[in-house]
């Protein structure tokens, strides 16, 4: 009888830091390798070595390229990993962009902290450098969606389309006759840019995200809400700031605003996309047309309608521009990026509006804004916030509870165990009850660093 150890190294009892380690005598696989975000106690874990022998890992399988699923890779390599990092073409491109950007931000923030002396550490150091990120990229190896990949004599893996962002997949790992299904982040059933997720048909062990396991996204009229916010900004001669995730949400917002302009529902208000990473992601959409719904003509028309910001000097020109305007800038949870500069400079004006889209993790600035914060700590100093804060939950790239259940509907067998991951504890408990009520399946909510043994 063969044994498998499952190590829950992240996204267990929390949303971020996805890392699931499958350890057998024959093969050792890490599914996702993400950074923790949000709560300080979690972020501190990014600085700690993993409690496993990293040099023994044969493969890292990436479900998609978001920071909380790939951002730890430079540290993994620094700790001795020398295996293969597998992902779809768009996923590896997105991961490259995100890792390079993350390293740049880490270095810039360490430099700023040392210059302005607001860090407790002397000197403040980056979590990893651009050189660390570049070295990690050397281990990338592209896989094709739907192909069955032989990883060892008794193990194979298949990456299957699941929406969420461009390149995103769920992963089926067949190991000694048992199937382990990792949902990754499941996308929406109806999305402006992406197709509906494919669905697994068999799972002996199912690892399913539960970000929105406790709720249904509101039935919002996105076009109507965006039109109202744009008209308010015009009336107030103010700025609409939209903190956005650089991957898919930013492109979706661009598409929504371009469509509204095309239909004469909003005037030709200046729209600026100020996210170097988001601009690079746009090129991935052009590079991989089969992964999304946009035609090449629509893509170019959309990009021509919107001003793409390239330099930080332009950021300040936009801030000083007195015209009513829309600014879409990273990051989506207001944890970093150029959106901090806009909020720092314009957030204390009552003519400014802030529109949050997508999930806001605990203790992020985005979550604090949602909860009514009237000041934010930015670059070591507190900044007053008088801007009106709005939230569009239906623009989330994550499936809600009914959509997650729909994703599981095609599973023909009764899984031996369902693991609820990538969610806050309250959401997972509600989702656990719902799965038991609908399917009668045995669910488990793993703790961080929990290790389970499975007989194969």
- pLDDT, tens digit, 9 for 90 and up, residues 406-417: 999 999 999 999
Distance CA(285)–CA(3), nearest Å, equals: 42
Report how far apart, in Å, the C-alpha atoms of 58 and of each of 25, 87, 139, 170 are.
11, 14, 11, 19
Per residue in 208-240, pLDDT (tens digit) is 999 999 999 998 899 999 999 999 999 999 999
What pLDDT does 357 receive? 92
* Six token digits for residue 331: 């990051």
Residues 250-281: tens digit of each pLDDT: 999 999 999 999 999 999 999 999 987 777 88
Domains of the chain, CATH where assigned: 3-215+397-455 (3.60.15.10), 222-395 (3.40.50.10890)
Which one has a higher pLDDT value, 30 or 2? Answer: 30
3-state secondary structure of 2: coil
- The two three-digit tokens of residue 20, written as one number: 């699931």
Structure tokens at 162: 């699941």
What's the pLDDT at 275? 84
- Note the pLDDT of residue 252: 92
In 3D space, the residue among 287, 372, 352 whose CA is nearest the CA of residue 93 turns out to be: 287
Cβ neighbours for 425, distance < 8 A, ≥ 6 positions apart: 13, 14, 445
Tell me the whole-structure pTM to 2 decimals. 0.91
Q: What share of the chain has pLDDT > 90, as a percent?
A: 85
Model confidence over 343-373: pLDDT tens digits?
Answer: 999 999 999 999 999 889 888 999 999 999 9
- What is the DSSP code (8-state) at residue 394? G
Give dist(CA 68, CA 36) in Å, integer: 6
**Nearest-CA neighbor of 305 among 281, 275, 269, 349?**
269
Report the largest interatomic distance among the alpha carbons of the chain, rounded to a whole angstrom. 71
**Residues 85-144: tens digit of each pLDDT:** 999 999 999 999 999 989 998 998 899 888 887 777 788 899 999 999 999 999 999 999
Do 286 and 297 touch, CB atoms closer than 8 A?
A: no
DSSP secondary structure of 5-61:
EEEE-SSSSSSS---EEEE-SS-EEEE--PPP-SSHHHHGGGGSPPSS-GGG--EEE
Which residue in the block uniquely carries the two structure tokens 């650089």? 246
**Cβ–Cβ under 8 Å, residues 263 and 277:** no
8-state DSSP, 292: S
Q: What per-residue confidence (pLDDT) applies to 196?
A: 97
User: How many Cα neighbours within 13 Å face the side chain of 252?
Assistant: 28
Residue range 421-440, pLDDT digits in tens: 999 999 999 999 999 999 99
């Amino acid at each position: 009888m063969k044994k498998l150890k499952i190590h829950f190294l992240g996204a267990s009892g929390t949303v971020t830091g996805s890392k699931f380690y499958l350890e057998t005598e024959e093969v050792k696989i890490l599914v996702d390798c993400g950074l923790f975000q949000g709560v300080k106690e979690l972020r501190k874990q990014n600085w700690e070595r993993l409690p496993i022998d990293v040099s023994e890992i044969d493969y890292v399988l990436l479900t998609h390229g978001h920071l909380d699923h790939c951002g730890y890779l430079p540290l993994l390599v620094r700790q001795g990993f020398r295996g293969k990092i597998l992902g779809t073409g768009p996923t590896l491109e997105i991961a490259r962009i995100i890792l390079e950007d993350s390293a740049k931000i880490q270095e810039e923030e360490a430099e700023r902290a040392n210059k302005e002396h607001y860090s407790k550490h002397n000197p403040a150091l980056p979590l990893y450098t651009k050189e660390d990120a570049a070295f990690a990229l050397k281990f990338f190896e592209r896989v094709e969606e739907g192909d069955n990949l032989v990883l060892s004599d008794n193990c194979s893996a298949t990456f299957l389309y699941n929406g969420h962002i461009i390149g995103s997949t769920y992963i089926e790992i067949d190991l000694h006759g048992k199937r382990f299904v990792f949902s990754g982040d499941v996308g929406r059933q109806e999305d402006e840019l992406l197709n509906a997720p494919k669905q697994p048909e068999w799972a002996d062990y199912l690892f399913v995200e539960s970000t929105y396991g406790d709720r249904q996204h509101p039935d919002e009229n996105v076009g109507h809400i965006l039109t109202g916010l744009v008209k308010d900004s015009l009336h107030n001669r103010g700025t609409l700031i939209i903190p956005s995730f650089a991957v898919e949400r930013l492109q979706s917002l661009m598409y929504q605003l371009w469509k509204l302009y095309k239909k004469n529902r909003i005037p030709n208000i200046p729209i600026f996309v100020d996210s170097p990473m988001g601009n690079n992601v746009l090129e991935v959409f052009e590079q991989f047309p089969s992964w999304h719904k946009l035609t090449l003509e629509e893509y170019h028309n959309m990009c021509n309608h919107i001003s793409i910001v390239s330099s930080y000097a332009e950021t300040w020109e936009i801030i000083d521009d007195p015209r009513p305007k829309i600014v879409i800038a990273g990051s989506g949870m207001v944890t970093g990026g150029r959106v901090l500069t806009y909020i720092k400079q314009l957030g204390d004006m009552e003519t400014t509006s802030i529109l949050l889209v997508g999930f806001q993790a605990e203790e992020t600035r985005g979550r604090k804004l949602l909860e009514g914060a009237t000041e934010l700590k930015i670059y070591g100093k507190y900044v007053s916030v008088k801007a009106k804060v709005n939230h569009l939950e239906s623009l989330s790239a994550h499936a809600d509870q009914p959509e997650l259940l729909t994703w599981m509907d095609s599973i023909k067998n009764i899984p031996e165990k369902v693991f609820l991951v990538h969610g806050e504890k309250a959401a997972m408990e509600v989702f656990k009850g719902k799965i038991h009520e609908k399917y009668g399946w045995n669910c488990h909510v793993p703790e961080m660093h929990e290790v389970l043994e499975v007989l194969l």
